[in-house]
Amino acid sequence: MRSVVIGIAIIAFGALLIGGLWVTSGSPFEGAVQVRNPAASTVEATNSQLALLALVVLLVVGGVVVNGALLAGLFWLLNREALRAQASPPTPFEFSLSPEGNTLGSWARQNAVPLIVILSVFLVVAFFGLAVITGAFS
């Protein structure tokens, strides 16, 4: 099955390559030329248009690479924590505010500063988002 998919991909890439070479070398089916200005042409491009295209391509590829690296790091971290949890003895989690044991209160007590910062940022963003939606700044 894998070799069939690879074969189809190679055939499709070859067809695209041949078609692109055929179009750029001048096909026998010449269309009507509507403009002579290269800035308005769909076949020719000016240097500034090529530079902008290269910039857009670099930004898109860079974004894909950065997002891929972030996802790889996230999944590595999640896998590491899952392996740690699997290796540790099972302790039941209780949704209690008691500061002892494996409870929500114990977690909140150990992570008080990050919890307060995250909640504060969330409230500020929610406030400004609501203000923008209701038109308070216009």
Q: Where are the domains of the chain?
A: 44-90, 94-138
The answer, yes or no, to whether residue 27 has pLDDT greater than 70, is no
Specify the pLDDT at position 130. 93
d(CA 31, CA 41): 13
Residue identified by tokens 């999944």 is 75
d(CA 44, CA 41): 6
Specify the pLDDT at position 1. 79
Specify the pLDDT at position 99. 79
Q: Please say whether the beta carbons of 92 and 102 come within 8 A.
A: yes
Q: pLDDT higher for 119 or 25?
A: 119
d(CA 4, CA 10): 10
> Residue 50, Cα to own-chain centre: how many angstroms?
25
> Mean pLDDT over residues 90-114, rounded?
83
The answer, yes or no, to whether residue 105 has pLDDT greater than 90, is no
d(CA 89, CA 94): 16
> Mean pLDDT over residues 99-120, rounded?
88
> Mean pLDDT over residues 94-107, rounded?
81
Q: Tell me what percent of the chain is helix, strand and coil, each rounded to the nearest 5.
A: 70, 0, 30
Count CB neighbours of 43 within 10 A.
9
Specify the pLDDT at position 120. 96
Specify the pLDDT at position 49. 86
The answer, yes or no, to whether residue 32 has pLDDT greater than 60, is no
Q: Please say whether the beta carbons of 16 and 24 come within 8 A.
A: no
d(CA 135, CA 114): 31
**What tokens were used for 10?**
């190679």
Strand partners, 103: 94
Confidence of residue 19 (pLDDT cuts 50, 70, 90): confident
Top mean pLDDT of 20-29, 45-54, 110-119 is at 110-119
User: Mean pLDDT over all residues of the chain?
Assistant: 86
